[in-house]
Amino acid sequence: MTIKLGIVMDPMASINPKKDSSLAMLLEAQQRDWQIVYMEQQDLFLRDGAAYARWQTIQVQDSLQNWFKLGPEDTQPLAELDVILMRKDPPFDIDYIYTTYLLELAERSGTLIINRPQSLRDANEKLATAWFPHCTAPSLVTSNADRIREFLNEFGDIIVKPLSAMGGASVFRIRRQDPNINVILEIMTEHGRQLIMAQRYLEEIRDGDKRILLIDGEPIPYSLARLAAPGETRANLAAGGRAEGRPLSERERWICAEVGPTLREKGLLFVGLDVIGDYLTEINVTSPTCIRELDAQFDINISARLFDCIEARLQ
């Protein structure tokens, strides 16, 4: 059986082919002779209760130049596809939510969606850590600046961040005597109208913000520790951090064992956990990255493991 795969992602021309995990997945699908079609979020639409998309066939190659070639356009029901990879990057905004409703219609018609649309809505990448409070550092989610100041006074050094962004965008470190506390909280909470997350600052960030990839609840046995650039609080690669692969520690394996069964139950087949020191800080479900870095450092093929799992689901 030839498997028909669709991918919903940001513009292919805008990716960094050296690091892009979606490209790694497409290379593996092509190696398996799957039929592949490419879509962007705005290509999906609804007509008379059925979800459709305008898509293009795509060919890919492992190259820093000319890494893709698009074929002719076609418009078909999403239900014509066996699998759809939802790989659109945050921000997780209202258009993203609307897209999950369209993908859910395709799922009801028998298409396997990675990750499950309802769980993409349910598992906010910051808030989902609340399902596992025994794995997390002290944290607070609120739009109330006074409550955040109380949290700051309690711990003396905190991180505040939005609930819908990625790549370290709008992440601030605040200490008790910071003269910019008021303006930071005004901007972040939109003067008390928007929920944000505060977490106790973890000194262990000096040893890296570690990304652990899970496939159907089971971890890849290595993490990618992202180390902050000099003078930078954020360790995200998008913020200039550098990457260093490491075997999972006993504590990290324990966190995965605590989290994995819930992710599997919710149909979150491919997930990236962020761990600082002994603590789970985020659960990335929209478009987890770091496949290519881990593959290169440890001579593995994470996409192959994911696609083996997908094939097993389709049988």
Q: What amino acid positions are annotated as catalytic residues?
A: 126, 161, 211, 226, 234, 274, 282, 284
Which strands make up the sheet holding 218-227, listed edge to edge? 242-247, 218-227, 209-215, 270-276, 279-284
To which residue do tokens 């398996």 refer?
32
Q: Residue 262 corresponds to which tokens in the numbers above?
A: 């819930």
Q: 281 to each of 124, 177, 278, how far by Cα in Å?
A: 12, 25, 10
Give the span between the Cα atoms of 126 and 165, in whole angstroms: 10
Q: What is the spatial distance between Cα 286 and Cα 284, in angstroms, rounded to a whole number?
A: 6
User: Would you list the DSSP string of the chain?
Assistant: -PPEEEEEES-GGGS-TTT-HHHHHHHHHHHTT-EEEEE-GGGEEEETTEEEEEEEEEEE-S-SSS-EEEEEEEEEEGGG-SEEEEEPPSP--HHHHHHHHHHHHHHHTT-EEES-HHHHHH--TTGGGGG-GGGS-SEEEES-HHHHHHHHHHHSEEEEEESS--TTTT-EEEETT-TTHHHHHHHHHTTTTS-EEEEE--GGGGG-EEEEEEETTEEEEEEEEEEPPTT-S---GGGT-EEEEEEPPHHHHHHHHHHHHHHHHTT--EEEEEEETTEEEEEE-SS---HHHHHHHHT--HHHHHHHHHHHHH-
